[in-house]
């Protein structure tokens, strides 16, 4: 086991160990998966013993839920959700009250105010982001304009007529909206945007041309939003609720402090408590530095650990490509993700199948499996049977980092 150094100035690991013990105590009696894994570590008296609790990988959730429907033993059995969602990987996810409370706290820190009129550019369908932000904004007294991500021109008209002055969603979506002629009178004061790689240049452009202060954020369906940042250096401040570890994606053992690895989160969240949950995101943690004004632990998000990619705010997995290929009778395929002239994500599908270029059946089945549209299909005779690759051309991988792509998706 790798020894984790304790920050003597804050006692961070001792505090985090106490938080994890509280999660185990509160939920193990009625959360079967959590109880089974906690039992592996016994009484978990200190941080190193907590490291013996088996990690639950996000990629395991579809298999757990398929084996033991509907939730795979990961939900609190006493929890009665008000809404359920269906993630791109096929996982049932509940809306979580604590996630809305936590997000409301982060929105206030980011500068959202009571009576702001907020365009909600996240989808309300199948995935929780739209409803989660809606509930959090209502909690702080905002008026929500629930537009979702579609129909930019109509959104621009609505924003103008309703006097929208704030936004949540994807930064490239906001830039496209504000560049619309119909949005000439729209004045967005503050925005919280995420779910998009390499968006800092877009946020800088929004500030320069439209005077929008656009803050960054990070979250995932099982927890909600757990970090935010506005420094422009990629550092995201973790919420105080979060117990964060960094592990080697291949061995799931902790890496030394300051090194890059996969983010593992423990979180007290009634309904779906997380105990050593591996997110699939590649990060580096930066300790709190009160002297510089950074009172919370911070995180640099560096990409995904496996063969998956985030497109238009949605995660696209290798398993979805395999499902698509099975539907249409392909033995292999790949996708490349890039940005168009407006800075929006676009997907190009590649397959070793002559004559299928942009075929309507292929395009329709890709949407059915992947829940995203491809701009086209191209013949590629270099693709080897059994290959299902995802190439993200919007960014470069972390140079020399062997961790990326070291574990396959579900």
Judge whether 12-94+233-305 and 309-392 match in fold: no
Architecture of domain 98-219: 3-Layer(aba) Sandwich (3.40)
The per-residue pLDDT for range 90-138, each reduced to its tens digit, is 899 999 999 999 999 999 999 999 999 999 999 999 999 999 999 999 9
Answer yes or no: CATH 2.30.38.10 is held by domain 12-94+233-305: yes
Q: How confident is the model at residue 291 (pLDDT cuts 50, 70, 90)?
A: low
Please give the backbone phi and psi of residue 389, each rounded to the nearest 5 degrees, phi first: -105, 150
Other C-beta atoms within 10 Å of 153: how many? 12
Rounded Cα–Cα distance for residues 76 and 99 (Å): 15
Assign a CATH topology to domain 309-392. Answer: GMP Synthetase; Chain A, domain 3 (3.30.300)
- Mean pLDDT for 363-388 is 86
Q: Which of 238-242, 342-346, 348-352 has the highest mean pLDDT?
A: 238-242
Question: What is the number of residues in the chain?
Answer: 410
Residue 90 neighbours by CB under 8 Å, 6+ apart: 62, 65, 319, 410
What's the predicted TM-score (pTM) here? 0.77
Give the start-to-end residue ranges of the domains of the chain.
12-94+233-305, 98-219, 309-392
């Amino acid at each position: 086991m790798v020894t984790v150094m304790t920050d003597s100035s804050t006692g961070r690991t001792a505090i985090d160990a106490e938080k994890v013990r509280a999660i185990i105590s509160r939920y193990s009696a009625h959360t079967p998966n959590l109880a089974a894994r906690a039992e592996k570590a016994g009484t978990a008296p200190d941080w190193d013993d907590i490291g013996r609790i088996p990690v639950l990988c996000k990629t395991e959730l579809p298999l757990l839920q398929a084996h033991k429907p509907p939730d795979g033993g990961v939900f609190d059995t006493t929890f009665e959700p008000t809404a359920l969602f269906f993630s791109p990987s096929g996982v049932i996810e509940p809306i979580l009250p604590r996630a809305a409370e936590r997000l409301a706290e982060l929105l206030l820190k980011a500068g959202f105010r009571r009576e702001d009129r907020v365009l909600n550019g996240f989808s309300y369908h199948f995935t929780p982001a739209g409803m989660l932000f809606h509930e959090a904004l209502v909690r702080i007294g905002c008026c929500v304009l629930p537009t979702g991500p579609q129909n930019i021109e109509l959104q621009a008209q609505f924003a103008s007529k309703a006097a929208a002055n704030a936004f949540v969603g994807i930064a490239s979506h906001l830039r496209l909206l504000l560049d619309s002629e119909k949005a000439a009178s729209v004045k967005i004061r503050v925005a919280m945007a995420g779910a998009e790689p390499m968006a800092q240049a877009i946020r800088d452009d929004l500030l320069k041309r439209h005077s929008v202060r656009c803050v960054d954020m990070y979250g995932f369906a099982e927890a909600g939003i757990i970090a935010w940042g506005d420094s422009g250096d990629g550092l995201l401040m973790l919420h105080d609720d979060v117990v964060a570890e960094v592990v080697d994606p291949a061995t799931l053992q902790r890496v030394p402090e300051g090194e890059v690895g996969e983010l593992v989160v423990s979180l007290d969240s009634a309904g779906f408590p997380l105990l050593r949950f591996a997110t699939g995101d590649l990060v580096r943690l930066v300790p709190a530095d009160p002297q510089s004004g950074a009172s919370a632990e911070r995180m640099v998000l560096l990409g995904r650990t496996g063969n998956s990619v985030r497109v238009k705010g949605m995660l696209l997995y290798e398993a979805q490509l395999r499902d698509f290929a099975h539907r249409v009778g392909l033995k292999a395929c790949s996708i490349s993700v890039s940005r168009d002239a407006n800075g929006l994500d676009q997907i190009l599908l590649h397959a070793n199948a002559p004559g299928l270029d942009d075929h309507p059946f292929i395009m329709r089945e890709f949407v059915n499996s992947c829940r995203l549209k491809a701009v086209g299909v191209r013949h590629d005779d270099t693709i080897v049977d059994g290959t299902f690759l995802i190439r993200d051309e919007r960014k470069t991988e972390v140079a020399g980092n062997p961790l990326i792509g070291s574990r396959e998706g579900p």
